[in-house]
Structure 1
Amino acid sequence: MSVRKPCPETTAFPDRSILILKCIYVDIRNMEVISFFVKNSYAPRAVPAYSVPTPFSFQRMQRMAASRAAQRSLTVKSLLKAVPFVVLCAAVPFLVMRGIRYSESFARPVTFSNSNAEEFDYLDKAMFDFALAQDSYFDLDGNVVSADGTALASRADAVYKEPVTYQQYEVRVGDTIGSISQKFGLSNISTLIAMNDIANVRYLYSGKKLTVPSMDGMKHVVAAGETLEGLSAKYNVAYEDLLDVNDLDSSELTVGQTLFIPGAKMDKQSLQKAMGERFTYPISATWRLSSGFGARKDPITGVNSYHTGIDMACPTGTRINAALSGTVAFVGWSNVFGNYVIVKHIDGYQTLYGHMSKITTKKGAFVNQGEKIGEVGSTGYSTGPHLHFTVYKNGKLVNPMTVLK
């Protein structure tokens, strides 16, 4: 570069530099740009040109600018190329964990030291043993069941000829409606429930006073137009028994009069309502009924068999909840049910949860209704992830669909 006609406003600097067009310092000897400024700003006159660091030429400046642009382009391309790798790195741990959780369902080989029948016989016996640990039980009709699993015989024939009498009882710790009924020789729990207007037996508490009649039956308040003959037919009770039990001299009744109807029971719907909250489904997530209760073809062998519960198909790892509050009676492994849990509830109920991939409770623990006890899997004798759910009543199988809500 040569400087022919400096700008009128140019100013010479000491030694070998001049200011051209107010914005570029040029080394006259080597003809290299010493420094340049944006727009037309001046360098302070007090600052000598040779104090500006590292001179560079226009060609070098252009090369550096091109190099920086190329570097920026390479950086963007490198980042774009790295995105799939970063995503893959993030996905690998997630996929590995999912694979591990899925493989847990098949961690144990399906080998049988005993036949299926022997396995079921063992479990049935175990469930009956859990039932015998209860003080008393009752069936779905409210009939009190003895320790050998049979309903207590009604004492109606022995006492219907005598007037009914009443006594007071204070509920103690550990009492149940069934145990109190059995203690006083009553054969049906609806007697105590109806006599004491109990809305929910689950709220029976220590210290509560109960009126206990000397025989099974229910009280009835006479309404307008009712007769003793009509009540005898309505409740299927002998006319003479109504007279004797209520110590009546005649058949004349008055509106509002309270009678005791010997042998009368609550209907099933009223009894279930008084028994409080029923079992809830152990799976709250979406599930499919893959096999119902009762006779079916074995999904593996194709042989006709009896299914002891229901199969609720859903993904491995799905949360399993306690269907009703109770105490965990057993936690273990079965060649049939794989990892399984048995929970003992009040009034002779037990529930079994099978094929779990993971158990999150322990034996002896008290679990509330809806509390997590494990996760769905496919352990044991299974064709895929599902929960096998069985309900026992006093050691005998019950169709779960009849007690679930």
Structure 2
Amino acid sequence: MSSVAEKKQSRRRVVVVGGGFGGLKAVAALRKAEVDLTLVDRRNHHLFQPLLYQVATAALSPAQIAQPIRAILKRQRNVDVVLDEVTGIDTTARQVLTRSGPIAYDDLILATGASHAYFGHDHWQEAAPGLKSLDDATALRRRILNAFEQAELSEDAAERQALLTFCVVGGGPTGVEMAGAIAELAHRTLVHEFRRIDTRIARVILIEAGPRILAAMPASLSAKAQQGLERLGVTVRVNTAVTDCTQTSVQVGAERIDCRTIVWAAGVRASPVGSWLGANVALDRAGRVKVNPDLSVPGLPGVYVIGDAAAVNMAGGKPVPGVAPAAKQQGRYVAGLISRQVRGQSAPPPFAYVDQGNLATVGRGEAVVDLGWLKLSGLPAWLFWGLIHVFFLIDFRNRITVSLDWIWSFVTDGRSARLITEGERKQP
């Protein structure tokens, strides 16, 4: 018995903070390694973030895009799951500090993701919420659905139009997908469900500060995405910077747009990893940790940062994008590096990101796909987009229910998750 205990004590202690794409991939890739793993997350579920906007627009329910972390890892015997909030890191004592107490580590993988960036205007957050968590998505769903309910009750034409005006700030994939989904909800799904308002008068405005939406894609696909949005009734405004957001309006230059629902999709900033690691750690403008080519933190042996919290460049000098495939590749890479160290093998080559392309859905039956060697738009792109997203859902049951809901929505224009739960019926 003592030899077993001694063997366990001699095993490397690897702590992973964050149960997102990168953190889970790192844990899974270490399942056969002679290490003891601890995964720490303040939420008990892994979230498939690319489909959050579908929860926010009532196409899917929260349980369809989330899975309990313990259920995912129940067969991996070398990992403990800790539901707790990290408050700091003691790099000298090699401990992760949590509200429940310290957790010792030999190797630390920080995969804590990112939050919304308001570019120095954090007071806009209450008026213009973003979309990073299930709580964000259900709050936005509540706000969007309540806007229609309040418009139905309003006797004032100007107030009714403001309630039926939806502004989405940011023309990246999240903004494009949100704008298209809200337009479909207003112009198709809800058309016959209200008696006093015509939901087709709803305005959906997508505001982008740059010269075009989906700037990471080729200009031809960007143009097709804009055309698709406009066919849905979305007003796309490029070269337009937001200068103020309030509970009742969006300011763009000298123009004020009266609206009651604003969705922020204009930028991200890293989680507080940099402050946890100390003043000597270099950060970029978005608060991401500047890591070595092997994703380790300079001056902190055994500490690695991956995913949206890491600033790492590709071979040509461009930054690795903050997308799920990049986080997963980084998680797999760090896990492989630690496994080689445990086995006494030489270090692997530096991390090299393999770009798997960009995808964005515009609306029902329409999307754009850029795989580099292959570019698609329209229905073929939408089918490809759906196949990829269903394939990467972790739970097989969720793949089935999501597929059935999408088929039902495609045939009927319906949305199956249009619920405002009791106690949440607040003014937008």
Structure-1-length-normalised TM-score: 0.24
Give the helix-richer structure, 1 or 2. Answer: 2
The structure with higher relative contact order (CA 8 Å, sep 6+) is 2
